[in-house]
């Protein structure tokens, strides 16, 4: 299988998460294209599944992410799962407090990504991935990259 991990990043946190997801996909024997949405020349993507991520900026996804999703070829992605992910913060450095807060999240970039995917009649994966940032600009929570890798692993296992 071939995956696509498309992301936008402001302070580098979402990029780190995207790289961890891509690394996990590769480690399980699949091909993956890692696409930085800040690169204006990259606007097409092809594969069997996709992860799309953005930092949460004032409760929303970035303009680059929205533009990418709005320009996505709906015919070629119609029946292929698209997973929304985001980075959210600043959150507590305490893992239990973060986990509790993230389980109740009802807005953010991933929610907007999921809604836009659904609005375009594409196949949105039902579970978004939220990764905590412990400061305004970072760093990622210490367990963030592990959570991203585990999520990607579970997703791939479900694709088989």
pLDDT of residue 42: 61
Global pTM value: 0.94
pLDDT of residue 127: 94
CATH number for the domain formed by residue range(s) 2-159: 3.40.50.360
Nearby residues of 53 by Cβ (< 8 Å), 6 or more positions away:
5, 6, 7, 8, 14, 17, 18, 21, 65, 84, 85, 86, 87, 109, 110, 113, 129
Phi, psi (rounded to 5 degrees) for 62? -75, 165
pLDDT tens per residue, the chain (160 residues)?
A: 999 999 999 999 999 999 999 999 999 999 999 999 988 666 667 899 999 999 999 889 999 999 999 999 999 999 999 999 999 998 888 888 877 877 777 778 999 999 999 999 999 999 999 999 999 899 999 999 999 999 999 999 999 7
pLDDT of residue 97: 85
Domains of the chain, by residue range, sit at 2-159
């Amino acid at each position: 299988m071939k995956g696509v991990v498309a992301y936008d990043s402001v302070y580098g946190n979402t990029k780190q998460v995207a790289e961890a997801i891509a690394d996990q996909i590769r480690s399980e024997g699949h091909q993956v294209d890692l696409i930085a949405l800040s690169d204006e020349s990259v606007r097409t993507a092809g594969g069997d599944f996709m992860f799309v991520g953005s930092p949460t900026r004032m409760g929303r996804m970035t303009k680059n992410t929205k533009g990418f999703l709005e320009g996505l070829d709906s015919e070629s992605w119609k029946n292929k799962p698209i997973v929304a992910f985001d980075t959210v913060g600043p959150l507590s450095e305490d893992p239990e407090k973060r986990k509790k807060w993230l389980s109740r999240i009802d807005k953010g970039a991933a929610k907007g990504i999921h809604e836009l995917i659904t609005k375009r009649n594409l196949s949105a994966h039902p579970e978004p991935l939220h990764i905590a940032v412990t400061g305004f600009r970072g760093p990622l929570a210490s367990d963030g990259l592990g959570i991203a890798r585990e999520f990607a692993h579970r997703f791939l296992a479900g694709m088989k």
